[in-house]
Chain A
Amino acid sequence: MELFLQFLSNTGFFLTDYRYLIMMAVGCTFVYLAIAKEYEPLLLLPIGFGVIVGNIPFFKGFGLGIYESNSVLHYLYFGVTSGLYPSIVFLGLGAMTDFSSLLIRPKLMLLGAAAQMGIYFTLLSALALGFMPKEAGSIAIIGGADGPTSIFLTAKLAPHLIGPVAIAAYSYMALIPIIQPPIMRLLTTKQERLIKMPDTDRTVSRKELLLFPVIGVVLCCYLAPASIPLLGPFFFGNLMKVSGVVDRLAKTAASSIIDTATIFLGFTVGASTQGDVFLTPKSVGIFFLGAVAFSIATASGVLFAKLMNLFMKNKINPLLGAAGVSAVPGSAREVHLQGQKEDPSNYLLMHAMACNSSGVIGSAICAGILWSFMV
């Protein structure tokens, strides 16, 4: 009987408390949203299940939890804390990205830069709310709307915040259809939303496609060397894709490699949200600031497009500014849908993808800048 009671005292039922149960409910919600609503299932399913697994209470000192050295989860989590998974994800992203639309419409790259202003506004807000500079930098990068970039920078600056920052970043990316449209509509008139972007006859030559990753990596990484771990693999992946001579490698990077990294990244980030570590007033602040960052990023992209229109003969549809955040391809899809709501014959998708891909580059540069400011 004593043995049975001892066993009972070691079970999850005995060790659980309300914080674990709350986090379990959050995990179940993510899994539900991924499966039933198909909201970013590639991200929310591994993260949601990771949250459930990470919040099963266990016997401390047994080498089971993600924060206990020599546990299996701890070894898998090393890919997050070292910045390994985000770099691998960027390699795959590069191999999946088609820069033709950006090369045809280079001026749209400015919208990708403008949307990064949300990052710096949030940096100031986080400092004002009492976060330390390294924590503020990690929270601010949520405004880039790029999960791997947020995780990478947080792992370098404030590893204790990886859980809340990653969950906030991925949650807001999944909530793009809810967050972005009201901001877009609020800041634009119907006439502006009706602006049609002209099709161009120019086709991108293979030489341009080959030169872009080389020029991009040299310029961006000379400017912000701390972004090498993200932009190096990103442009390398793209060069593999456009070169056409290593199709096998490019396809592997764009499928198996990025999928493997995404699985482990999502699952371990989810598992890192143990109730006792995660449910703190700081996490609430991070979620609040994350929403601010994302909204300001969207707004600054839209407003910058309007500013550009003051000086340009051929007007830009300001909705495109919202695609300057680097949530690929969610924000581009949302911009396209908003444009079509006003005029079903208005096709903004390719233009929005141009802004989106420059947003990826922009947010990685910002991560490099913030990292170099804080060390």
Chain B
Amino acid sequence: MYGLEAINAHNGWAMALTGAIIVMTGLTVLSTIISQLHRIIDLLEKRGNKKTLAIDEPAFVTRIQPPPATLSDLSTHVERFHLMTTDAGDSFDLITLHQIFIQNDDPHPHLTIRSLREQGFLVSAGEGRFTWKR
């Protein structure tokens, strides 16, 4: 049996349509849940904080200066980048570095990483990890 006759005989249309709807629905629901996940977590944390009578806040927070907006001379800023990644250890992956740059208000995290690689400040440490050039 071939062609449309075979599809009809084996209930092909129903299988394809139902399968497509199930996977689409499943991932849409999962996507909706994860899009709200951080809000739910924030809400739960705020409720938890309200119950706490006193919150210890640090009196003084040292903030590392944001990296440069222009990438013309990275060498003057490399020391600052080193400071930012102290907690990440000697070697780190690029995703971690990207997140650190975002946390430190780098306006162009991708471009900064690319320039650091191209100018040889950031060198491969093998297995997808990178380190600063000594």
| A contact residues vs B (CB 8 Å cutoff) | 98, 100, 102-103, 106-107, 109-110, 112-114, 116-117, 119-121, 123-124, 127-130, 132-133, 136, 199, 201-205, 207-208, 211-212, 215-216, 219-220, 223-224, 345, 347, 350, 358, 361-362, 365-366, 369-370, 373
Contacts and interface: CB of A to CB of B under 8 A. Distances in A.
B19 A129 contact: no
B15 interface: yes
Given A199-B109, A215-B30, A223-B26, A124 B99 contact: no
B80 interface: no
A233 to B, nearest CB: 18
Interface string B24-35: 111111111111
Nearest to B4: A128
Nearest to A358: B27
A345 B2 contact: no
B16 A120 contact: yes
Interface in B6-64: 6-7, 10, 12-13, 15-20, 22-35, 37-38, 41
A262 B31 CA distance: 30
A215 B20 contact: no
Given A103-B34, A212-B37, A361-B27, A223 B22 contact: yes
Contacts of A201: 102
Nearest to B9: A127
6 contacts: A103-B34, A106-B32, A116-B20, A123-B19, A136-B10, A224-B22
B16 A224 contact: no
Contacts of B24: 110, 113-114
Nearest to B38: A208
B126 to A, nearest CB: 13
What are the 10 tightest A-B residue pairs by CB atom distance, in nearest-first order? A113-B27, A120-B16, A109-B31, A106-B35, A347-B110, A106-B31, A127-B12, A223-B26, A106-B34, A369-B19
Interface residues of B, number: 40
Given A109-B27, A113-B23, A127 B34 contact: no
Contacts of B32: 106
A121 B16 contact: yes
Contact of A216 (B30, B99, B103): B30
B1 interface: yes
Among B20, B22, B32, B41, max chain A CB count under 10 A is at: B20
A364 to B, nearest CB: 10
Nearest to A374: B15
A192 B60 CA distance: 47
A123 B1 contact: no
A124 B41 contact: no
A215 B27 CA distance: 12
B90 to A, nearest CB: 16
B110 A369 contact: no
B88 interface: no
Nearest to A200: B102
A127 B3 CA distance: 7
A362 B22 CA distance: 10
Contacts of B37: 103, 208, 211-212, 215
Contacts of A350: 95, 98
A112 B31 CA distance: 11
B102 A112 contact: no
A46 B19 CA distance: 33
B125 interface: no
A370 B15 CA distance: 8
A124 B12 contact: yes
A206 B20 CA distance: 33
A130 B6 contact: yes
Interface in B71-98: 95, 98
B26 A205 contact: no
Contact of A128 (B6, B18, B30, B99): B6
